[in-house]
Amino acid sequence: MGTLKLEGLMKRYGASTAVEHVDLDVAEGEFVSLLGPSGCGKTTTLRMVAGFIEPSAGRVVIAGRDVTRAPPYARDTGMVFQSYALFPHMSVAQNVGFGLEMRKVGRAERDERVREALRLVRLDHLAERFPRELSGGQQQRVALARALVVKPAVFLLDEPLSNLDAKLRAEVRLEIRALQQRLGLTTLFVTHDQDEALAMSDRLVVLAHGRVQQVGTAEDLYERPANAFVAGFVGRCNVLAGTEEAPGRFRLETGTVIPCGHDGAANPATQRLLALRPERVAISRPEREDGLVGTVTSVTYLGAQTEYHVDLGGTDILAIRPTPPEGDGLRRLASGDRAALHWEPAAARLLASEE
Ligand SMILES: Nc1ncnc2c1ncn2[C@@H]1O[C@H](COP(=O)(O)OP(=O)(O)O)[C@@H](O)[C@H]1O
Ligand SMILES: [Mg+2]
């Protein structure tokens, strides 16, 4: 059973804490991403799972076995690094076979498994090449084959796509996901790229300052962010401060009152944060001066969409849904124009009060 369980995992370096507390359950065959900004503790967490870093506290359990104190080679993990880390003086086949040699797998079986792993990543025709004779994308596929060939219970990848250009990144992303699903690999994938994590994962773990902020599916995180950090990191979001002065009425710090989703008992004395996705905000030319009307402060044309910043009584709101849609003869709103904003009240979600 290729399950992975992390319990209260923590890593301290002197007075500073790289990973404060990580609890996580990864099911057999599940693809889970660790997503967070640079420095939040992703690599440290992954290396504790692989056995390259010893935790200050907590446990790592792989396939039901506590491996917290086991050396890397005794953990049944396969790891892929951002830098590929191929041996330059070894051929592709030798690189891929290295882990099997270390595990004392006999020559005949080794050759067969190396061939199979190279077939999986579609590199069987390049087995005798050296790393320097390969493109970046091919080198990364060799690194994938090298991790897969040992048939690990848990597959670990640390930003494996970040050295590839955008087009190749999108291709290799699909290849990794297809391979993972075909082989039913239990996978922990580290990235700072939210698109990558949303596109590839069964579930995501959002990490900030060494702490888990939220665990869930892409939809959970996007539609129901647990806090302002998740709302702002996963997709773009207007995060607005104020108070819910009455059910469905949110008073911004600047005094403007806007509609929001119902949240049980309103308490005008408690400071709250509201999350409002820019694609839920319809922006149009105002027909009257009542409703939510503000002034366009910037318009950025991005091809597939246009971003409008609107000053609403001193609060900046980002909107990307012009109404009616552009391109039907209506002149695009410009900086300095008056604009009306509208959204379904439920689209403006109150976030849990910060502790
Ligand atoms: N060997 C180390 N000694 C001291 N601090 C470290 C060490 N390794 C990492 N850190 C610190 O721990 C934090 C988390 O690092 P890391 O896990 O590499 O983050 P990420 O992979 O999310 O970018 C960072 O603040 C980093 O500077
Ligand atoms: Mg890292």
Question: Which residues does a 6 A CB cutoff place in the pocket of ligand 1?
Answer: 13, 16, 18, 36, 38-44
* pLDDT, average across residues 252-280: 90
Determine what percent of the chain is predicted with pLDDT higher than 70: 97
Q: Is the pLDDT of residue 158 over 50?
A: yes
107 and 198 assigned to the same domain: yes
Q: Is the pLDDT of residue 85 over 90?
A: no
Angstrom distance (rounded) from CA 5 to CA 59 = 8
Q: Which residues pair with 35 in a beta bridge?
A: 191, 206
Give 83 or 86, the one with higher predicted confidence.
86
Angstrom distance (rounded) from CA 11 to CA 122 = 38
116 and 168 assigned to the same domain: yes
Residue 293 lies in a domain: yes
Calculated CA dihedral for residues 128, 132, 136, 137, nearest 10 degrees: 0
164 and 20 assigned to the same domain: yes
213 and 255 assigned to the same domain: no
Going by alpha carbons, the residue nearest to atom 24 of ligand 1 is 39
Radius of gyration for the chain, computed over Cα atoms and rounded to the nearest angstrom? 25
pLDDT at 353: 66
Q: Is the pLDDT of residue 293 over 90?
A: yes
* pLDDT, average across residues 231-257: 94
Q: Is the pLDDT of residue 342 over 80?
A: yes
**Mutational test site, ligand 1, from 13, 52, 79, 162, max ligand atoms within 8 Å of CB:** 13
Ligand 2 center–CA 192 separation, angstroms: 8
* pLDDT, average across residues 110-123: 92
Ligand 1 center–CA 198 separation, angstroms: 24
Q: Is the pLDDT of residue 303 over 90?
A: no
Determine what percent of the chain is predicted with pLDDT higher than 90: 74
Q: Is the pLDDT of residue 1 over 70?
A: no
CB neighbourhood size of 111 (10 A): 15
Please tell me the pTM assigned to this model: 0.88
113 and 250 assigned to the same domain: no
**Mutational test site, ligand 1, from 44, 45, 54, max ligand atoms within 8 Å of CB:** 44
Q: How many folded domains does the chain comprise?
A: 2
* pLDDT, average across residues 146-168: 90
Residues by chain with Cβ below 5 Å of ion ligand 2: 43
pLDDT at 36: 96
Q: Is the pLDDT of residue 326 over 70?
A: no
Angstrom distance (rounded) from CA 112 to CA 36 = 39
Going by alpha carbons, the residue nearest to atom 13 of ligand 1 is 18
pLDDT at 354: 57
152 and 261 assigned to the same domain: no
Going by alpha carbons, the residue nearest to atom 10 of ligand 1 is 18
Residue 133 lies in a domain: yes
pLDDT at 331: 64
Residue 123 lies in a domain: yes
Q: Is the pLDDT of residue 229 over 90?
A: yes
pLDDT at 54: 97
Interhelix angle 166-183/136-148, nearest 10 degrees: 20
Residue 261 lies in a domain: yes
pLDDT at 9: 98
266 and 309 assigned to the same domain: yes
Residue 355 lies in a domain: no
* pLDDT, average across residues 110-138: 92
Query: At which of 172, 206, 229 does a domain end?
Result: 229
38 and 151 assigned to the same domain: yes
- CATH for 115: 3.40.50.300
Residue 191 lies in a domain: yes
Domain that holds residue 198: 4-229
Going by alpha carbons, the residue nearest to atom 2 of ligand 1 is 13
200 and 121 assigned to the same domain: yes
Angstrom distance (rounded) from CA 355 to CA 344 = 28
32 and 133 assigned to the same domain: yes
* pLDDT, average across residues 290-309: 91
pLDDT at 355: 43
Which of 256-265 are b and which e, b meaning 16 or more Cβ less than 10 Å from the residue's Cβ? bebebbebee
Q: Is the pLDDT of residue 214 over 60?
A: yes
